[in-house]
């Protein structure tokens, strides 16, 4: 049994000695926002899979799979966004393409890519240009724009709109000033949509931010990506591919602020104006559960299913994996990615099936990019969940904090993927 605090700390009963579970009389410091006494809704996981979907026929070359919810329902007055132009597949197949020596581990992902984070060499891939919904892994784009445009020490005051964002929140407190760096911590460690909202406001507002992140995606050389939201919440037109995410995250990891942020285990953030703080923990399982992990990003929506980006650095060789549209039937997304990365390390450095970089002539021009900013209708919040349930019963909160600390003492660091990124 696992419990999750709204500010992102996962507590697993399986790693706490039974004799200690009865301890409850403990005081703890929590974000006031985290103490909203509500029970989180439970959302369904994707239909079970016993193996990865067959993508040999390139069924998703133009658009992502059909939505299972009403998340892509158009808001009144909005026009549907046409799919991006299709591109030539430089890898020659929508199935699995792999370098000599790469043994494909068991997984349930529709698409994945294993690549050298520094050279861009692709070691193995499945459906590289297949178009899928990214969920929260797309937050790397707003992070990069914020790092580029905002002073990291700039203070941003959290508003009521921020704390009431649809989807996940890490517990930023209305009326409190947070630095841009602290907002980045909440965005990248805990996948906070409250952080994303505050950053977007500092960048000029929702529509301006969406334009900026799509401009950046195009500048980086993406060909399958349109970000219809900056949080990863599903919306009509949302699209990416594992190849494009490899491009985005290679650029992200080359940015020292991004790289330093995603490798933090936790961040201490103000809970009020008196100096009280709360912690946001990194939800990336590769960082928290492997010796050589350097971070990444988690994602989940009902229509995107599980998504994941993670990387490791072993003896100076950095290998990353991107996963789209997977389930947890054969392992958590971070576990599937970790196996893919480990398989990559068994391949000689001079072996590759291609590169994440494309010839300039094959990159769509600005004129080919979607122009209409179509926004989803949020009349039914349960259809647009982007990350994990945020709250547990108020009466259990204090006890669970100590159990989390005990889990740290008596077992290795918990897999934050149990807190699915909705």
The catalytically annotated residue of 191, 239, 241, 267 is 191
Dihedral pair phi/psi, residue 277, rounded to 5°:
-130, 165
Query: Annotated catalytic residue: which of 12, 71, 136, 241?
Result: 136
The reply, when asked if residue 264 is annotated as ligand binding, is: no
Residue 90: name the closest of 322, 366, 353 by CA.
Answer: 353
* Contact indicator for 91, 128 with CB cutoff of 8 Å: yes
User: 330 and 107 in contact (C-beta within 8 Å)?
Assistant: yes
Q: How far apart are CA 98 and CA 305, in angstroms?
A: 25
136 is catalytic: yes
d(CA 230, CA 48): 29
Encoded tokens for 272: 């009020």
Q: Are 87 and 58 in contact (CB under 8 A)?
A: no
CA distances from residue 60 to 45, 167, 240 in whole angstroms, order as listed: 21, 26, 11
Q: What six digits make up the tokens of 345?
A: 């390390």
Is residue 273 part of the annotated active site? The answer reads: no
CA dihedral 295, 296, 298, 299 (to 10 degrees): 170
Annotated catalytic residue within 98, 126, 139, 339: 139
Is 191 known to be catalytic?
A: yes
Active site positions, annotated: 136, 139, 191
Binding-site residues from annotation:
297
Binding-site residues from annotation for substrate:
297
């Amino acid at each position: 049994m696992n419990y999750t605090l709204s500010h992102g700390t996962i507590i697993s009963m399986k790693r706490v000695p039974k004799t200690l579970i009865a301890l409850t009389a403990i005081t703890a410091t929590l974000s006031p926002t985290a103490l909203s006494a509500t029970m989180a809704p439970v959302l369904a996981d994707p239909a079970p899979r016993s193996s990865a979907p067959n993508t040999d026929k390139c069924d998703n070359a133009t658009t992502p799979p059909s939505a299972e919810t009403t998340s892509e329902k158009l808001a009144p007055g909005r026009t549907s966004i046409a799919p991006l132009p299709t591109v030539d597949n430089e890898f020659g197949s929508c199935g699995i393409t792999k370098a000599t020596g790469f043994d494909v581990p068991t997984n349930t992902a529709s698409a994945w890519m294993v690549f050298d984070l520094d050279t861009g060499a692709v070691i193995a891939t499945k459906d590289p240009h297949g178009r899928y919904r990214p969920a929260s892994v797309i937050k790397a784009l707003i992070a990069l724009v914020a790092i580029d445009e905002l002073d990291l020490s700039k203070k941003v005051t959290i508003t009521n709109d921020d704390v009431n964002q649809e989807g996940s929140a890490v517990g930023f407190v209305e009326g409190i000033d947070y630095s841009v760096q602290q907002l980045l911590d909440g965005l990248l460690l805990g996948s906070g949509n409250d952080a994303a909202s505050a950053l977007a406001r500092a960048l000029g507002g929702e529509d301006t931010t969406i334009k900026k992140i799509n401009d950046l995606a195009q500048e980086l050389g993406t060909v399958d990506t349109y970000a219809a939201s900056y949080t990863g919440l599903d919306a009509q037109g949302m699209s990416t591919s594992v190849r494009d995410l490899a491009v985005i995250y290679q650029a992200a990891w080359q940015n020292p602020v991004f790289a330093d942020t995603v490798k933090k285990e936790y961040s201490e953030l103000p809970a009020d104006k008196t100096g009280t703080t709360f912690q946001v923990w990194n939800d990336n399982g590769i960082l928290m559960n492997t010796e050589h992990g350097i971070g990444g990003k988690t994602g989940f929506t009902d229509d995107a299913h599980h998504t994941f980006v993670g990387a490791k650095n072993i003896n100076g060789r950095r290998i990353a994996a991107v996963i789209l549209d997977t389930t947890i039937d054969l392992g958590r997304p971070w576990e599937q990615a970790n196996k893919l990365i480990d398989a990559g390390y068994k391949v000689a450095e001079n072996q590759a099936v291609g590169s994440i970089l494309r010839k300039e002539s094959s990159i769509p021009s600005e004129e080919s990019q979607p122009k209409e900013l179509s926004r989803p209708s949020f009349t039914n919040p349960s259809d647009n969940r982007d990350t994990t349930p945020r709250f547990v019963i108020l009466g259990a909160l204090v006890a669970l904090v100590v159990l989390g600390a005990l889990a740290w003492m008596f077992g290795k660091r918990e897999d934050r993927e149990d807190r699915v990124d909705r």
